Amino acid sequence: MSRIRIEGLLAAFPKLVGTGKQHTYLETESVRYVYQPIEGLYLLLITNKQSNILEDLDTLRLLSKLVPEYSSLDEDSICKTAFELIFAFDEAISLGNKENVTVQQVKQYCEMESHEEKAHKLMMQSKINETKDVMKKRASELDKIRMEKGKLDKGGYSSISGPRVIEKTFSDMNISGTGFGSGSGLSGIGADMDSFASKPKGRPSAAATAPGKGFGMKLGKSQKTNQFLESLKAEGEVILEDAQPSSVSSRASPLIPSDPITVTIEEKLNVIVKRDGGVNNFDVQGTLALQVLNDADGFIQLQIENKDVPGLSFKTHPNIHKELFNSQQIVGAKDPNRPFPSGQNETPLVKWRIQGMNESNLPLSVNCWPSVSGNETYVNIEYEASEMFDLNNVVISIPLPALREAPTVKQIDGEWK
């Protein structure tokens, strides 16, 4: 039967259906319409006139029971589940004849559940679990062997991922520090106060005269990787995440100021250096902040002495007299009759930034030398401080690849975690 023929039969059905009739079938010259109302819809079965109408009605009842199993009785839901209904009807009618099936059998056929398939999946999952158990047991045995070997040979070191990983790990290293003295931006600060004279409080300028000293530490690890641990990781087992040592901060908590006026200078240096020397990024950001306890002491001006450093730029607070600062480097209020804010909070007055400096201006240099000896890899890390700065609370963070054990530190100047 062609598509045009089917569309013509379906288009003629609404014209033939009347109201007030008790029977649920219609006959034309060539076909018979057997239908059943389902709320606002019709379930229609088109047959030839030679078919058994009793069997057609039985088929229609089976189809009417299948529809609520897959969809609600409205047009939108029927459209959304059209393919599911077609598959179910195909199980009930085969080659134009009704199959001797029930609603539950049709649902089972459509779900295509197979006992053999379930048994096969359970067997495969059981094999996977057994393999994981064997791998875990083997990993435990390897750990015991490694521990016993370490006890017998105190000079040996465990495995690390090899010299290439070590060299790549230390290829780029970020060095950050806070609070540098003179030499980068501001060399000194003085306060011109008419009401009183007090000792300026803040961080003193760096005056280190001792030559730079080299310090360092050594890491020892064997080069060979454990392929069995890699297979465990491929199976989804968690071995160990990348070691990320937490930064240690020994800076004391700030004390509540007792002086009537406190001037604070803070500089932050962010540098990214290259592996073979040179600087990728050199950024210095500084802030001058003022804290006044009483309103009567807020009528002050600060005289700043700064060096002519290439790439140095200043940014003042909107309430600061900008022309006075640019011409005489004096920090004062735009309105001389208005004091600086008082209270326990610091007020940033001037910010500056320096960019484009070279490697000779770094306060700290770090050298990393990995070396391979047999099946072990040794890493020497040294740092050297500049004579222009007096550094405190220096923390060097070294990223490490995923290891089952931490590296062994043979020699170190300072503390490590």
DSSP result, 169-231: HTSSEEEEEE---TTSSEEEEEEE-SS------SPPPP---SPP-EEEEEEEEES---HHHHH
Please check whether residue 143 lies inside any domain of the structure. Answer: no
Please check whether residue 120 lies inside any domain of the structure. Answer: no
Boundary (domain end) residue, out of 111, 136, 155: 111
Please check whether residue 311 lies inside any domain of the structure. Answer: yes
For residues 85 and 22, state if they share a domain: yes
- Can you tell me the mean pLDDT for 48-60? 84
- Can you tell me the mean pLDDT for 222-228? 49
- pLDDT confidence tier of residue 393, bands split at 50, 70 and 90: confident
For residues 101 and 231, state if they share a domain: no
With both helix axes pointing from N to C terminus, report the angle between 103-111 and 53-70 in degrees, rounded to the nearest 10.
50
Boundary (domain end) residue, out of 111, 146, 171: 111
For residues 306 and 188, state if they share a domain: yes
Spatial contact of 325 and 313, defined as CB atoms under 8 Å apart: no
For residues 51 and 176, state if they share a domain: no
Please check whether residue 61 lies inside any domain of the structure. Answer: yes
- pLDDT confidence tier of residue 198, bands split at 50, 70 and 90: very low
For residues 168 and 90, state if they share a domain: no
> Lowest-confidence range among 9-18, 236-245, 277-286, 315-324?
236-245
Boundary (domain end) residue, out of 111, 133, 151: 111
pTM above 0.85, yes or no: no
pLDDT, position 206: 38
For residues 179 and 85, state if they share a domain: no
- The residue among 324, 336, 312, 304 whose CA lies nearest residue 202 is 304
Tokens found for residue 317: 């607070």
pLDDT, position 128: 92
The highest-confidence range among 11-20, 152-161, 340-349, 404-413, by mean pLDDT, is 340-349
- Can you tell me the mean pLDDT for 183-198? 38
For residues 168 and 260, state if they share a domain: yes
- pLDDT confidence tier of residue 211, bands split at 50, 70 and 90: very low
Tally of domains within the chain: 2
Please check whether residue 124 lies inside any domain of the structure. Answer: no
Indicate left, alpha or beta for 118 from its phi (over 0: left) and psi (-120 to 50: alpha): alpha
**Which CATH number characterizes residue 106's domain?**
3.30.450.60
For residues 372 and 257, state if they share a domain: yes
pLDDT over 60 at 223, yes or no:
no
Please check whether residue 126 lies inside any domain of the structure. Answer: no
- pLDDT confidence tier of residue 5, bands split at 50, 70 and 90: confident
pLDDT, position 153: 61
- Expressed in percent and rounded to 5, the helix, strand and coil fractions of the chain are 30, 30, 40
pLDDT, position 131: 92
Spatial contact of 167 and 256, defined as CB atoms under 8 Å apart: no
- Can you tell me the mean pLDDT for 356-373? 80
The mean pLDDT of the chain is 73
The larger pLDDT score, comparing residue 86 to residue 130, is at 130
Please check whether residue 155 lies inside any domain of the structure. Answer: no
- The residue among 9, 41, 40, 36 whose CA lies nearest residue 22 is 36
Question: Which is it for strands 186-192 and 301-306: parallel, antiparallel or unpaired?
Answer: antiparallel
The larger pLDDT score, comparing residue 173 to residue 387, is at 387
pLDDT, position 217: 52
Supply the range of the domain harboring residue 270. 163-412
For residues 106 and 167, state if they share a domain: no
For residues 238 and 383, state if they share a domain: yes
CA distances from 66 to 38, 75, 302 (A): 12, 16, 90
pLDDT over 50 at 174, yes or no:
no
The larger pLDDT score, comparing residue 247 to residue 405, is at 405
The residues pairing with 382 across neighbouring beta strands, listed in sequence order, are 216, 367
Let me know if 362 is exposed, middle or buried by CB neighbors in 10 A (0-12, 13-18, 19+).
buried
For residues 74 and 182, state if they share a domain: no
- pLDDT confidence tier of residue 287, bands split at 50, 70 and 90: very high
> Lowest-confidence range among 73-82, 197-206, 255-264, 348-357?
197-206
pLDDT, position 255: 62
- pLDDT confidence tier of residue 229, bands split at 50, 70 and 90: low
pLDDT over 50 at 10, yes or no:
yes
The larger pLDDT score, comparing residue 254 to residue 160, is at 254
For residues 198 and 309, state if they share a domain: yes
pLDDT over 80 at 77, yes or no:
yes
Please check whether residue 136 lies inside any domain of the structure. Answer: no
Residue with tokens 């099936």: 101
